[in-house]
Amino acid sequence: MMIIRAVKQEEYSFIENFVSEIFKNTSYSDGVVEKALVREIREKQYYIPQLDLVAEKNGEIIGHCILSKLPISNQCESEVLMLSPVSVAINMQRQGVGKFMLQEGIKLATDRGYKGIIVEGDFRYYRRFGFRTSTEFGIYASKKNLPPSKEYLMAMELCKDGLKDICGEVDYTIYQSLTH
């Protein structure tokens, strides 16, 4: 059986390496940025330990995702979350681990009263969870960190009209690891 739980402090470096290894196996990353991002999120005021999550099966960590506070145009940082990075063990991909992990993460974020989640990634994947192009909500990528196309920056409301009064810019320069 698969369980979702918060990462323990003694697992931090294991998780950083786990994330790095997974992204190293993609065509678009060497894993360095994602590893640095996980570490940096944990060091900043945006970190929420209860939303730094692992998927575990038979005592083995097979997935990780982290939801952290994200200011939109330097505001609303206690209302909106960033989902990034999301990692699933290579031998466990396409087996529902990511889906299970994200559904649990979304539920936990909703239960904690957050209004929305922002994610940058493959829209074909994230749409199935209810994410829509962020511009539909009036949330735009900063000129400093434009995604490959606007469809890659997505948002999702966690409650009715959750993002109605939240609009502006997603600026990742709060993280040095994402500043190219």
Domains in the chain, start-ordered, CATH in brackets? 2-178 (3.40.630.30)
Rg (CA), the chain: 15
User: Can you tell me the distance from the alpha carbon of 161 to that of 115, in angstroms, rounded to the nearest whole number?
Assistant: 8
pLDDT band at 74 (very low <50, low <70, confident <90, very high): confident
The predicted model gives 73-81 an average pLDDT of 87
Which pLDDT value is given to residue 165?
92
Question: Is pLDDT at 21 greater than 70 in this prediction?
Answer: yes
Q: How many residues does the chain have?
A: 180
Q: Are 163 and 131 in contact (CB under 8 A)?
A: no
Q: Are 137 and 118 in contact (CB under 8 A)?
A: no
**Per-residue pLDDT reduced to its tens digit, 121-155:** 999 999 999 999 999 999 999 888 888 788 999 99
For the chain, percent of residues with pLDDT exceeding 90: 81
Question: Is pLDDT at 25 greater than 90 in this prediction?
Answer: no
Which pLDDT value is given to residue 164?
94
Task: With both helix axes pointing from N to C terminus, report the angle between 32-43 and 12-24 in degrees, rounded to the nearest 10.
Answer: 150
User: Can you tell me the distance from the alpha carbon of 102 to that of 106, in angstroms, rounded to the nearest whole number?
Assistant: 6
The predicted model gives 164-168 an average pLDDT of 93
Which pLDDT value is given to residue 144?
84
- Measured in whole angstroms, the distance separating CA 23 from the mean position of its chain's CA atoms is 14
Closest of 114, 126, 125, 33 to residue 77, by C-alpha = 114
Closest of 52, 76, 41 to residue 158, by C-alpha = 76
* Torsion angle (degrees, nearest 10) of CA 111, 137, 144, 37: 20
User: Can you tell me the distance from the alpha carbon of 86 to that of 22, in angstroms, rounded to the nearest whole number?
Assistant: 10
User: Can you tell me the distance from the alpha carbon of 137 to that of 16, in angstroms, rounded to the nearest whole number?
Assistant: 32
Q: What is the mean pLDDT of the chain?
A: 93
The predicted model gives 146-167 an average pLDDT of 92
Q: Where are the alpha helices (DSSP H) in 44-176?
A: 97-111, 123-126
Closest of 162, 154, 87 to residue 121, by C-alpha = 154
**Per-residue pLDDT reduced to its tens digit, 86-119:** 999 999 999 999 999 999 999 999 999 999 999 9
The predicted model gives 61-86 an average pLDDT of 93
Q: Are 56 and 62 in contact (CB under 8 A)?
A: yes
Which pLDDT value is given to residue 20?
96
pLDDT band at 180 (very low <50, low <70, confident <90, very high): low
Q: Which residue has the higher pLDDT, 117 or 74?
A: 117
